[in-house]
Amino acid sequence: MSNSKVLCNHKDMTTLLDFKQGIIDPSGSLSSWLAKQDCCQWKGVQCNNITGRVIELNLPCHTVPSTFSYIDDKSHCLTGEIHLSTLLDIEFLNYLNLSNNDFKIPQYNYYSMHSHICDNSKECGNFSMLNYLDLSYNYDLLVDNLNWISNFSSLQYLDLSGIDLHKETNHWLRLMTLLPSLSELYLSGCQLGNIYPSLQYANITSLKVLDFSDNDFVSTQFPIWVFNLSSDISHIDLSLNFLHGQLPKTLLNLQSLSFLDLSINNLDGPLSDWLGQIQQLKYLNLYHNSFSGSIPTNLGNLSSLTSLDLNSNNLDGDLPESLGNLFNLEGLNILDNLLTGNISERNFHSLSNLKELSFSSPTLTYDFDPKWNPPFQLEVLQFRFLGLPTWLYTQTSLKVLTIGNSMASFEPLDKFWKFAAQLEFLSLGNVSINADMSNVLLNSKVVWLEADNLRGGVPQLSPNVTFLTLYYDSLSGPLSPLLCQNMNGESNLKLLDIGSNMLSGEIPDCWMNWKSLLYVGLEGNNLTGKIPPSIGTLSNLIVLNLVNNKLFGEVPISLLNCKNLWILNLSGNKFSGTLPKWIGQSVKVLILRSNQFSGSIPTEICQLHWLKILDFAKNRLLGPIPDCLHNMTSMISKYASIDEFFITIPIWKTIQMFRFGLTLYTKGTEFSYVNSMYVIDLSNNSLSGMMPSELFSLARLQSLNLSHNQLTGMLSQEIGNLKQLESLDISSNQLSGQIPQSLSSLTFLGALNLSFNNFMGKIPSGTQLQGFTNLSYMGNPELCGPPLSKPCGPQDEEPHNSATQVGGGDDDDDDDKSWFYMGLGIGFATGFWGVLGTILFNRKCRHAYFRFLGQLHEMMMLKMNSISWHLRNFYRDN
């Protein structure tokens, strides 16, 4: 904001006020934009001190990842329809930053931003002075061509990251070459598909920073032109694409290159010795490729290198001792390769600046001198297949420690737990500590202890603990020593996961001491009794998972106070009474299967507008299916979002993302899904009547299971409206009539069971329905035609259009007749590979996640993958 007393130009003020008209400002960011005030004093506006002309408009939205979403919380950001063409009248504007807001395209031109920027070069003339343009991460902006960019001849900085440019695939590079002053170009996550692999040279002579990460580049020929750019280029990021091939030797042309990120591609071949000749290189990230052969010894000549990440490749041979000469190295990650030979203090003799170290290989031999005192003080250490090194206890600055698949001895345990108290992040997986935890006080901010043969009672916690996982161990006894402890200070615990242990007794009524909790996971234990009423004091609770215990009674109405509850999973218990009518309207996943609930399905369920998974299977429900299901609008909206259920927790200069898995059972086979499904499962009850027509309006529905009920009537032709349907099981009912032809139009249908009904006539022709086996149709004696062996006679007609609904059959609890079983397993046992899968396959998640890490780069000093790796894969043997 300018301190000049020169008043703002009236024309510029009018233009800005016109721009404001189309903007929705939920947090009042533009409250100072009043006509009666000097616009040079408005937020985000800077004027020339002499002329009073507006020269800068800086209105980015600052966000952090929300606790339970990959997408940043933008509820406070500017939104509404953006008309950039309105700003064209500000003729002296040289800096424009509207990044990370939530601007939309006007509805009458939703698929193009072109006409709202400029329609011709004359109209764009006023932007000839613009040298900085940042529209990044306004995800709903779509641009079908970039011709308007060529008018900004003075542009030096351009960031369109996160904006959909998939229609601009043929000319974008040529247009970039028309910007002679361009020095920084960021087109990350723009859905670009053509990287022009056959092009030899691109005339972008002033370019110093190039970020094409997270696009859809698929090329078996590495783009040579990238490495034939000006020798002054210092930063290249091509991570998260699908590039193949070997590194071109033309890299040697880039003698000023200091940052090279080619992670998460399909690059292969050896790492040639010439890589060690790029003397200015400071950051080299080749994570998650297919490079093979040995690590070049002359990488040890890169004296400027501060970060080296070779994680997840096929590199073999010895770890070169020459890497020990990299005295500026701060981060070294050589996890998940095929290295052999010895690792000893000789590999680290000059690494006095090392802060992050990650290494593992089952074929490496570790030969550290027991008396060795390292020259470094680590902040992050991750390893597996290694005994506990004696030099670990010299690392007084350590904040992150991850050990997996190790037969290390942690004796004396008192010494180890005292050392662990200094850590922010402690993760031990499959290390066989074999320790009684009842007398242990945990102090780290994040404690991840999984499959470590922990025994005895539950530990105690200090107020520092924010995240606690004690999963798949042998803890026994009651929960009360943990939940009812007299803590010295207020609890900050957000996540409690003690699933798959042998805990017993009742759930104690001490939840009022843990009001910060967001996630409670006690699944897979032997807990008995009722859910205590004090659990309703957890006003921040988002997930409650009590699966597979011995709990009984009714669901307490005190849960009504948990207004932020997203996921309620009580399956596999003995809860009884009627289904709760008061479930909070924020619920997205409601799983009450395999209990003893009775009565009818309350119509109040239809008011759960955000519901994505509704599972009441294997109870004692009766009566009709409510005819108000169309009120669950999340299952109807064509543009409904896909949730990835996880929690984010800041851990030592970066963030960790821990995800809950969704498990789908089909024919007894378990599948883990990265994203939440849209599911209705009411199977194995005594529901009667016809399937309501409203059910067929749920266009987002992916899995529908109504098997083993008493439904009657005919299957409606409207079932063809469920275009996203992947699984359909309506077996073991009393449905009749012909199978509607529209069923064959469900192209995503991969699992079908219509068995044990009274269907008749010819199975509709079309590869979709003939692709299933006769098991999908058995028990319908009047059905004929492929894939059944029974031929059809002339009296058997093709199904005709009908809006008639379906009806029921005998109540049959024999699961052998119905092979479809759907459930949700929520727990952190699914680990971080779920996170990676989501990031890779959900574009908005990738944008938000990797942009957030990029924002932390200056604070981290290194941008390494070692912190945000995926723990379950870490624990898995090579």
φ/ψ of residue 300, rounded to 5: -70, -10
Residue-wise pLDDT for 367-403, tens only, equals 899 999 999 999 999 998 888 899 999 999 999 999 9
Determine the pLDDT at residue 796: 72
Q: Which residue has the higher pLDDT, 146 or 514?
A: 514
HEC profile for 785-807? CCCCCCCCCCCCCCCCCCCCCCE
Tokens for 629?
């299901």
Sequence-separated (6 or more) residues with CB below 8 Å from residue 816: none
For residue 446, what pLDDT is reported? 93
Reported as a single tens digit per residue, the pLDDT across 759-773 is 999 999 877 899 999
Q: What single letter denotes the amino acid at residue 639?
A: Y
pLDDT bracket for residue 873 (50, 70, 90): very low
pLDDT class of 793 with cuts at 50, 70, 90? confident
Residues 546-556 have pLDDT tens digits of 999 999 999 99
The region of weakest confidence among 292-301, 455-464, 575-584, 830-839 is: 830-839
Q: Say what the pLDDT of residue 636 is.
A: 87
Q: What is the CATH number of domain 271-378+386-398?
A: 3.80.10.10
**Percent of the chain with pLDDT strictly greater than 70:** 82
Listed by start position, the domains of the chain span 271-378+386-398, 399-533
Dihedral angle computed from the Cα positions of residues 430, 431, 436 and 438, in that order, rounded to the nearest 10 degrees: -60
Predicted pLDDT at 364? 87
Angle at alpha carbon of residue 550, lines to 453 and 586, rounded to 5°: 95
Average pLDDT over residues 430-447: 92
At 63 the pLDDT is: 84
What is the structure's pLDDT at 549?
Answer: 97
Distance from the Cα of residue 293 to its chain's centroid: 33
Least confident of 226-235, 488-497, 640-649: 640-649
> Tokens 């695939």 appear where?
169
pLDDT tens digits, 718-744: 999 999 999 999 999 999 999 999 999
Q: pLDDT at residue 480 above 50?
A: yes
pLDDT of residue 818: 40
Between 649 and 818, the higher pLDDT residue: 649
Q: How many helices and strands, by DSSP H and E, does the chain display?
A: 9, 59
Specify the residue for token string 């059944």: 788
- Provide the pLDDT for residue 664: 53
Give the range among 123-127, 168-172, 532-536, 542-546 with minimum mean pLDDT: 123-127
Check: CB of residue 257 under 8 Å from CB of residue 272.
no
Distance CA 508, CA 518 (A): 18
Distance, in Å, from the CA atom of 462 to the CA atom of 485, rounded to the nearest integer, reads 10
pLDDT of res. 462: 96
Q: Mean per-residue pLDDT for 286-299?
A: 95
pLDDT attached to residue 73 = 77
Are the C-beta atoms of 742 and 798 separated by less than 8 Å? no
Q: Evaluate whether 647 touches 496 at the Cβ level (below 8 Å).
A: no
The stretch 701-711 carries a mean pLDDT of 95
What are the structure tokens assigned to 856, written together? 């932390």
User: What count of residues does the chain have?
Assistant: 878
Q: Render pLDDT for 171-206 as a digit per residue (tens, 0 to 9).
A: 899 999 999 999 999 999 999 999 998 888 888 889
Q: How confident is the model over 559-564, as a mean pLDDT?
A: 93
Q: Which two tokens stand for residue 815?
A: 């699961």
Q: Angle, nearest 10°, between helix axes 833-841 and 843-855?
A: 110
Phi then psi for residue 76, to 5 deg, are -100, 0
Q: Which of 87, 61, 60 is nearest to 73 (CA)?
A: 61
